[in-house]
Chain A
Amino acid sequence: MAEADPDIRQAVGRPVPHDSAVGHVSGAAIYADDLPQPPGLLHLAFGQSARAHARIVSLDLAKVREAPGVVAVYIADDIPGRNSVGPVAADDLMLADGEVYFVGQPIFLVAATSPRAARMAAKMGEVSYKDLPHVITVADALAAGSKVEDSQVMARGDATSALADATHRLTGSLEIGGQEHFYLEGQVAQTLPGEGDAMHVISSTQHPSEVQHLIAHLLGVGSADITVELRRMGGGFGGKETQAALFAGACALTTWATGRPARFCADRDDDMVLTGKRHDFTISYDVGFDDNGMIEGINIELASRCGATLDLSSAINDRAMFHADNCYYLPAVGIVSHRLRTNTVSNTAFRGFGGPQGMIAIERVIDEIAAHLRLDPLTVRQANLYGPGRDITPYHMQVEDNVAPAIMEELAQSANYTARREAIAAFNAQNPIIKKGIALTPVKFGISFTTKHLNQAGALINLYADGTILVNHGGTEMGQGLMIKVAQVVAEVFGISAQSVRISATRTDKVPNTSATAASSGSDLNGMAAREAALTIKARLIAMLAEQFDIDPDRVHFSPDGIVAGEARLDLAAVARMAHIARISLSATGFYATPKLKYERSRHAGRPFYYFAYGAAVSEVAVDTLTGEHKVLAVDILHDVGKSLNPAIDLGQIEGGFIQGMGWLTTEELVFAPDGRLLTHAPATYKIPVADDRPGHMTMALWSGGRNVEETVHRSKAVGEPPFMLAISVFSALSEAIRAAVPYARSHTLDAPATPERVLAALAKLRSTDA
């Protein structure tokens, strides 16, 4: 029963503003560090490793302990329970234990009376190291065979034979940089002591339950002793899925040991050094195709920098493999994925979760085929799309909801792609220095956690006797509008407006054992769970009213004009009061588990996704071929969100995701020194897009044909991650513009991010190869 009651359309589908919008603009919305400082609050900082890989020979903290304002200093031995803040494996130590494996790794923890005192003292530790061999880059790790887990293989058909038999064959490679999340609110946590073993934790995290569980293990207490709470994050993007536990754990240890409240607000530079980022990848391919550019066989090799520990790298690299087909049917395919261990901070979840890196691989392949055959890349894209009889993915899942062809066709028309491409060719013929490029690329993104058990959610709804409704669920708000969407879903059940549903902080003592708000799944999972809870209460109210008015339950209706019970018309307050007097429970939990999922990781085969989200974008760029500078001139997007729960929120996700993706592929460059130091650890050196970078022409539309074929909440589709990958169109357009500068060039040489330096390097390489 996932469809809305047809007679109510009060809340769902409306462009309701974000529930906190007024709080945001007035400064009244409260973030973790905005809470009043409790008496005796201790502020924390880590003493960090100066070496990429070394044994700690000695650790002298006398000066740290004597520094002004310092109250306590902790090392690994001071942890009462398990020294781990890792989500999957226990290899992410909170404090180093005898050995360090990346520059910046926490070695000791300082608690002091002010942040500045803690940070000053943290620099005073005297650590002597015995250096061990270190590995920093993907290339070094590949050469050394340094891995966090075994390489994985996904295959369908006989790619080797198909390649041998193919009319044309191309090989190539591409390097893709990582990405810093740059949530505007850095990592923050606070702990307050409770009675006995109890502790209250405020954590800016996408995963309160994991923070709860890790702290329980860290302290050797039960999960029931630890309550984690969060009202909102100032941005997450995956960077607060597993990475928040380090800071919350440090607070918990301090409070456990001192009995005093503790707060950790990571300084921006420390945050960037201490926390993981998007994986950088090196991709190579060997593709065979016919004269029309139809792929006949392909081998793709993905190699990623995972950093020093496992973190979520298994699932992230799996997702890269899952998206190396994007929207294209690969008749015979082999995908190999290497997960490389390096002495750098452990890379982690970031919007798209490996998907973008896999997707850009196949888009580069398509661009290469088109260049080689002198075809319009869009023609090659369309020729290779999934379609009837060509609908099995490399992981043996049938694509049942393929709307990519329709979206691409509609967008190509509305954005006037073909005529513009011709105009650009004419422009390029007349302009020796400035070259333009245009590209239309699609997105197909698998929705569900590929770790099956994570696809569950719980909710708790309280209807108070005065008719007000409080909603709680396991999802967290990081700006994506989850709370308002869930409020809309609940409001719809009761026939009221979304604004009259009270939203509350996420708390592990209200809804337990939750999954991270991640994988774009927030509203799919929590919306359904909340809806179930709301329907439970509604059913009780209907039964109560039927009994009170002695009518058939069919004669009770919830409508925007009130609750109709036979001849009577009541408001929700009156009905709630009646129910309370009648001793009916007005509190209910709801639960949801995504159906149809079945996946065998050992074979990389099955159905890891409930459905796919689709979209497409056209980007036009201009490149200065003397300086390497470039500009995105125009972007048009058509995106499928199914039947939108909230078009305003969805369009915001699309625009924001696109610009973030554009940053990943253009200005955002992470630079590690050969000794493992991160050199780009602040906004002065790491450049996310600013307002000026937004293309002068930018249109976005929700695809009017959108309706989820699966029974998701009101037939909507997830929207958090998929639009990020629309920005691959910018990269393809840049590649096209660069190629236009070199007559007869039949290949692409651009690596990501496309900084002016890389653009000049791509031009030089193209000239040396093709001139």
Chain B
Amino acid sequence: MSIRFVLDGEIVSYDCTDPTETLLEMLRYRLCRTGTKEGCAEGDCGACTVLLGELNDAGTAIAWRAVNACILFVPMLDGRALMTVESLAKDGALHPVQQSLVDLHGSQCGFCTPGFVMSLYGRAIGACGTKDAPVSEVISGNLCRCTGYGPIIAAGKDNPPSPQDDTPTITLLKQIGRTEPLLIDGADKVTGTARSWFAPHTVAQMADRLQQRPEAQVLAGATDVGLWVTKQLRELPDIVWLGEVAELHTMQEDDAGLTLGAGVSFTMAQKALARLHPQLGSLVSRIAGVQVRNTGTIGGNIANGSPIGDMPPALIALGATLTLRKGAERRQMPLEEFFLSYGKQDRTTGEFVEQVNVPRPHPDALIRIAKFSKRFTSDISAVLGAFHLTFEGDKVASARIAFGGMAGTPQRAIATEETLIGHEWCEATIENAAKALAQDYSPLSDLRGSAEYRLTVAANLLRRIWHERQNPDVAPSLHDVEPSHG
């Protein structure tokens, strides 16, 4: 089955026989465009960064976004436009982003450079997730081991956003215009095992397909499932990709809160989440790099049931509910009830996450979300704590506290909440609550932190919140601290 996409002013028809072939494999070994590099094959280094463009609903503009080609499956390219590092130089002249990198000595070994070029080029044309973001955040999903980043950041700053003319690409994308869902009946390249790809256009089509093939793997951004293929060498069964289901990419925001379709990416949701509470927006900035946030979905972050996913504890603290769908049936549950135990969620065969609803917190509520990891940016949490407290006078009126990294699932701290609710907001209460954390959680020791550290930092987070509320000046964020001048 051929998929079609636009590359460098032409429509490319590509015969895709294995739906789990990655975009990177196709570029490097089938199309011989080797400028895009493999650094890790798991979406963590950005050496394979390319830009993926989608026509808007009106057909008037293209939304470009940086993505990691190494964990994107080729069929996800269907009906879209692609730019790689080879696309940029025109008539032998480098694009200004490239020229700045040359002039400022922004490459050393050069292996990561094409990825940085594409991230910075994305910023230069106003790609998703780059607006108003500092250069260092735009390239936080790109690793460089040689330069120390200074000249790359400088090259980014030298190239302020200015839109590119996408008219020719828009015309070509309209020519592709697929009206029927893409269906590939293919097979694994190595083993020959049959494997299908279905990209429904409506939730109803998706639900039908999952009724027919209940063992099919639901796929959203592939930022996790992609690694099952590239790292675990797993042979995926039939795949149902929700990337073309418009209903799952909607956000509804009102006074009551925010409803996110399962296909909404971190980048799409970030500003709406920040309007619910700034702490949610800040949290999104600390989840992976831009490329992963442009692809990965909040629905996927929930559905995969990881004990260290960052959104679930934050959303649990805010009282989020989850809507699951099977066929025409829907059911709703508090988000925390979805996570049954490590690796097990309350989801039956053929059932899928349709949307998540996040109530708007009261303006006076104390919301605090803190993520602890070895590296501040683009790391996986050792511990993520989310606090949602309200007060009546001196007393804590309500408390919803949830942690990630402290148990086999994202989990509420019920005992800790009880030590706070109805009690005076004072140091003694905080110390009681800190002790109660050890009743709520018996964390494991692993490569991200010891059990002792996890309990210590969780308790200290409570103490920090206490200090912050008492006197923000004595507990400023590290990121507000300025160098000394003497």
Contacts and interface: CB of A to CB of B under 8 A. Distances in A.
Contacts of B382: 757
A267 B450 contact: no
Contacts of B469: none
Interface string B70-114: 000000000000001110110000100011011101111111111
Nearest to B459: A626
B485 interface: yes
A684 interface: yes
Interface residues of A, number: 110
A667 B375 contact: yes
A114 B189 contact: yes
A184 B111 contact: yes
A183 B463 contact: no
Contact of B105 (A18, A22, A683): A18
Contacts of B151: 652, 655
A564 to B, nearest CB: 34
Contacts of A207: none
Nearest to B117: A25
B464 A627 contact: yes
A481 B372 CA distance: 38
A389 interface: no
A336 to B, nearest CB: 31
Contact of B107 (A21, A420, A693, A698): A21
Contacts of B168: none
Interface string A194-236: 0000000000000000000000000000000000000011111
B278 interface: no
A693 B145 contact: no
A117 B191 CA distance: 8
A656 B147 contact: yes
B274 interface: no
A756 B370 CA distance: 14
A683 B143 contact: yes
A120 B233 contact: yes
B323 interface: no
A27 B88 CA distance: 10
Interface string A471-498: 0000000111100000000000000000
B342 interface: no
A683 B486 contact: no
A418 B376 contact: no
B101 A25 contact: yes
B109 A620 contact: no
B73 to A, nearest CB: 14
A692 B377 contact: yes
A671 interface: yes
A233 B37 CA distance: 13
B394 interface: no
Nearest to B453: A757
A694 B478 contact: no
A380 to B, nearest CB: 20
B481 A18 contact: no
Interface string A168-186: 0000000000000111111
B56 interface: no
B243 interface: no
Contacts of A123: 233
Nearest to A121: B190
A539 B161 CA distance: 55
Interface in A383-442: 416-424, 427, 431-434, 436, 438
Interface in B32-75: 32-42, 44-45, 47
A84 to B, nearest CB: 29
Interface stretch (A31-39, A50-58, A98-106): A31-39
Contacts of B35: 26-28
B461 A627 contact: yes
Contacts of A756: 372, 374, 453, 457
A740 to B, nearest CB: 13
Contacts of A671: 447
Nearest to A267: B41
Interface size class of B (residues with CB under 8 A): 35 or more
Contacts of B355: none
A685 B153 CA distance: 25
A627 B372 contact: yes
B153 A691 contact: yes
B135 interface: yes
A390 B142 CA distance: 47
B40 A268 contact: yes
A603 B47 CA distance: 48
Given A627-B464, A683-B44, A694 B98 contact: no
A119 B233 CA distance: 8
Given A27-B85, A184-B37, A757 B450 contact: yes
Interface stretch (A127-135, A340-348, A451-459, A628-636): A628-636
A25 B374 contact: no
Contacts of B29: 37
Interface in A231-277: 232-237, 265, 267-269
B378 interface: yes
A62 interface: no
A16 to B, nearest CB: 10
A112 B269 CA distance: 44
A499 B195 CA distance: 53
B486 A25 contact: no
A234 B37 contact: yes
B479 interface: yes
Interface string B133-173: 00111011011111111111100000000000000000000
Interface in A670-715: 671, 679-680, 682-685, 687-694, 696-698
Contact of A633 (B105, B372, B481): B481
A24 B110 contact: yes
Contacts of A117: 190
A21 to B, nearest CB: 4
B42 A684 contact: yes
B263 to A, nearest CB: 24
Contacts of B178: none
A18 B377 contact: no
A423 B486 contact: yes
A660 B145 CA distance: 7
A726 to B, nearest CB: 11
A363 to B, nearest CB: 21
A630 B478 contact: yes
Contacts of A25: 85, 94, 98-99, 101-102, 106-107, 110, 113-114, 117
15 contacts: A25-B99, A27-B117, A31-B37, A184-B39, A184-B47, A235-B145, A416-B486, A417-B486, A420-B484, A659-B148, A683-B42, A685-B447, A689-B148, A692-B376, A757-B449
Interface of B: 28-29, 32-42, 44-45, 47, 84-86, 88-89, 94, 98-99, 101-103, 105-114, 117, 135-137, 139-140, 142-153, 189-192, 231, 233, 289, 370, 372-380, 382, 446-450, 453, 456-457, 460-461, 463-464, 467, 474-476, 478-479, 481-486
Closest 3 CB pairs of A and B: A27-B35, A419-B486, A479-B109
Given A423-B486, A633-B483, A687-B373, 6 more contacts: A20-B107, A34-B34, A68-B192, A268-B41, A652-B148, A680-B447
